[in-house]
Chain A
Amino acid sequence: DVVMTQSPLSLPVTLGQAASMSCRSSQSLVHSDGNTYLNWYQQRPGQSPRRLIYKVSNRDSGVPDRFSGSGSGTDFTLKISRVEAEDVGIYYCLQGTHWPPGYTFGQGTKLEIK
């Protein structure tokens, strides 16, 4: 089964500075249809998760443009250009290319303010 590995697990960042986190899959996430099914989600403390990025680099409606996704194959990155206080939370990647076993989440990266 495909394994999703996120790093770092904890990411202390100064307000206004950039942040970057990684998501690596044990198998290529390029689907036979040509798409790469890798999404990013944000979960603020005490809230439900919400999707930020779909299919590697497409930002969801209402997501600030300081969030960007990139990558290909097995290596993916979520970047925040200038961290704000409201960005505190846990960020998860999700793969949907390999089925079964079904959707697979990474273990999460916890972003906190220094």
Chain B
Amino acid sequence: EVLLVESGGGLVQPGGSLRLSCAASGFLFDTAWMSWVRQAPGKGLEWLGRIKGIVDGGTTDYAAPVKGRFTISRDDSKDTLYLQMTSLTSEDTGMYYCVRETTLIGDWGQGALVTVSS
């Protein structure tokens, strides 16, 4: 069974930084392509970025709204995906989902809630 468990969410002040983690199990993590998707309160889904598997170069792609502020990385020795977020604003408030790419987006985690507020 594929399991994706996000952690690291919480309350952060505007301008601050936060790192989310996603612990993966149930599949070969090092070859998997992984993405982050977020959902602002009461709003739709927004893809943020992805990281390819190590055999495909481990390269990253980002959506325009977060490029330069967010960084996706992975530690294949720990089967863990990360999302480093900087220069956070209130518009970054929402639920952040770790997802595994299988024919686009396949499996979803339960999400981590990030609140940006003073």
Q: How far is the CA of A55 from the CA of B106 in the complex (A)?
A: 12
Please report the number of residue pairs spanning A and B whose Cβ atoms sit closer than 8 angstroms: 54
Instruction: Tell me the interface secondary structure of chain A in the complex.
Output: loop
The A27-74 residues at the B interface (CB cut-off 8 A) are 37, 39, 41, 43, 48-51, 54-55
Q: A48-B97, A48-B111, A105-B47 are in contact. Are A94 and B105 (CB under 8 A)?
A: yes
Instruction: Tell me the interface secondary structure of chain B in the complex.
Output: strand
Instruction: Looking at the assembled complex, report how far the CB atom of A18 sits from the nearest CB atom of chain B, in whole angstroms.
Output: 25
Binary flags per residue of A97-114, CB closer than 8 Å to B gives 1, else 0: 001111111111000000
Q: Which residues of B contact A (CB under 8 A)?
A: 35, 44-47, 49-50, 61-64, 97, 103-106, 108-111
Q: Which residues of A contact B (CB under 8 A)?
A: 37, 39, 41, 43, 48-51, 54-55, 90, 92, 94, 96, 99-108
